[in-house]
Amino acid sequence: MSQQYKAIIIDDEPAARRLLKSLLLEHADVIEVIGEAGNGKDAIARIEEMIPDVIFLDIQMPDLTGFEVIERLKQKPNIIFTTAYEQYAIKAFETFSIDYLLKPIKEERLEQSIDKLKKFGRLTRSVDLSGLQEVIRQLQVPQKAAALPIKTGDRINLIRFENISFLESSDKYVYINTIDGQKHLTDQSLTALEEKLPGIFYRIQKSYIINKDRIKEMHRHFNSRYLFTMDDKANTRLTSGRTYHDSIKAEFGL
Amino acid sequence: MREPTLLEYIILITVCLLTAFAGLYLLTQFNRLFRGSIKNELLRKNLAAWVVIFCFSTALLPMSGGFFYMLARFGWFHSIIGHIASTTITTIVVYNLARVIAESPSLRKLSFIKHKSLVILSLIISTLAINIPFFYYLYDGKMQYLKYAIINSIYLAGATGLVYAVISYLEVERKRKFDAKELELSRMRESKAKAELDALQSKVNPHFLYNALNSIADLSITDGKKGRKMTIALADLFRYSINYSNSNYSTIRDEVEMTEVYLQIEKIRFEDQLNYAVDVEEDFNHYLVPRFLLQPLVENAVKHGMKATGRMTEIKLNIRGSDKGVVFEILDNGPDFPDELNPGYGVKSVYDKLDLLFPDNYEIHFSNQPQKKVSLFIHKLMKDESAV
């Protein structure tokens, strides 16, 4: 007689929990569902309180992702992720042999996971955290930032990177100049902004960062400087700093 | 006539080299000379040409052989006056002739080499035409000095013409490179525009679809009625997203209807954790907006709203007139928008659609006070002409 495993089901959709529970009833000799949770915070509390052997963990939940739930657990049980990710995204799970079930959940696939549990007494050798991190990284690639959030009063404006022509600092403020000629003011420093901006943004002077995709022309200027004409409404002309000469030369392959 | 001393030779050579270099430098800067000070283009170019020609002819003075003769015969003052006078005449005749030839639109159609050869030839001939009579006068018609005049003119005019040709060539080459780059850029922009158009072919978020189907798998056994309702709603939403009409626009009425279908599905999925209210001023029903504009914003609101656990999520969609055109407000009662707001795929696609179809005609505000909401203003609306 094999061991019986205590399980908790974590999913933000009641129907999804119900479905899994009814599917697991067929395997009552191996798995006993002792609890469920509808969000990440509840899940952590339940797991720490009930100490299950295995958890069925939904990845996309509104408050915390499944990954964040695991990060916050002191003791990590066996984990079977449940996810609606596309097939291509799921490759990462296989690469790091992390157990998962695709939604809508198939009974045969669930059986495989349970067989594995029966055979080895556990799933993957504990949770390979670095593998997990890699999975997270791969799944989150499309989530790259595409816009700069700028707070003005109670409002947050999103300025899309591709619409930014250049950033100009003056005194304590930075003006974000868009291609249609608008200026947005922010009190973040140019250096802080530089870190947030993607690689298409390039500093050409102490007080200017430009969008490389929005350069219309660049010319050699006097005194180791370059003159940039931007592809914006006013065809703004900006001069680079002398000390930036070498790095500009290297950057643009001049 | 006394032979110059060694020192005089050295000074002479140095002066000649310096003026030659000055002339070359000024020639490369030709189009920029006197740009700030003289407005009239013809005058400016002539003056620039004068300076260049003066430098070159000064540099070539010893070659003509007539320099020392001139000094001996007329003295310094008159020699310089004479030199300036000949430079002036040369400029007026030679430069302007070359200019006419270089800029004549019909001659510009010739190949690069033919065109530049013609310019050089005209320079040489016109210089000869001026210098031969000048020397003739200078040497009182002694024909044996004429060869100096000829060599000198050919040398001066030919060298100037060659430098001009090289500069033009470099300019043409630079422009060609620039054009090639520009072409590449425009190709890139085109492919970007294509990517943006793809964004218009919006899809229902696949996550949402699979999760909904997973719920249906359960409801088909536990609650057939709900399962059926959800299946039908999902089919409607899917049909709308497939967009058989192939139009990038949709009426506000259709958009609102689909948003409600979407919210119905979410309400079933989250079983009483979600409430919603939709309030649309009827006047706007027949106006057009980009297709699938509202659903991503509402989906975003649902996600935000659900972040606060342990209470009912309330979503509101209001569409009404404002002083800035029509405003679409999407409210949720989740936690505040963070300052470091990072828009997801859905919100990005909304910006894409608006940038493409309503450029400079919209504003989106995310605000936390007095209510947490996303406000989308569309300043000028288009009416759907097909439906009246």
Cα distances from B271 to residues A236, B121, B216, B237, in angstroms, run 55, 91, 13, 19
Of A62, A105, A147, the CB nearest to B214: A105
Task: Report the gap between the CA of B193 and the closest CA in chain A (Å).
Answer: 12
- Which residue in A13, A109, A141 has the most chain B C-beta atoms within 10 A of its own C-beta, making it the best mutation to test that interface? A13
Matching residue, tokens 């900006």: A238
Task: Report the gap between the CA of B341 and the closest CA in chain A (Å).
Answer: 6
For chain A, what is the radius of gyration of the CA atoms? 26
Of B214, B305, B366, the CB nearest to A84: B214
For position B166, what pLDDT does the model report? 87
For position B12, what pLDDT does the model report? 81
d(CA B356, CA A233) in angstroms, rounded, equals: 17
Task: Report the gap between the CA of B359 and the closest CA in chain A (Å).
Answer: 10
Stated pTM of the model: 0.64
d(CA B296, CA B376) in angstroms, rounded, equals: 12
Taking one residue from A and the other from B, the number of pairs with CB-CB distance under 8 angstroms is 109
| Interface touch B341/A156, C-beta < 8 Å | yes
Cα torsion B102, B103, B109, B114 to 10°: value is: 0
d(CA B331, CA B318) in angstroms, rounded, equals: 8
CB B269 within 8 A of CB A15: yes
At residue B211, φ and ψ (nearest 5 deg) are -65, -40
Is some CB atom of chain A closer than 8 A to the CB atom of B306?
yes
| Interface touch A63/B206, C-beta < 8 Å | no
How does residue B339 score in pLDDT terms, banded at 50, 70 and 90?
confident
Matching residue, tokens 């159609």: B109
Partners of B339 on chain A (C-beta within 8 Å) are 149, 151, 156
Q: Is A170 exposed, middle or buried (0-12, 13-18, 19+ CB in 10 A)?
A: exposed
- Tell me how long chain A is: 254
Q: What kind and span of H or E run contains A158? A: strand A155-160
From first to last of its 254 residues, chain A has per-residue pLDDT tens of 457 899 999 999 999 999 999 999 999 999 999 999 999 999 999 999 999 999 999 988 888 888 889 889 888 888 899 988 876 667 777 777 778 899 999 999 999 989 888 887 766 555 566 777 777 767 665 556 778 888 877 788 888 898 899 999 987 889 999 998 888 888 888 988 888 888 889 999 999 999 998 888 888 888 888 899 999 888 999 999 989 988 888 888 77
Partners of B348 on chain A (C-beta within 8 Å) are 146-147
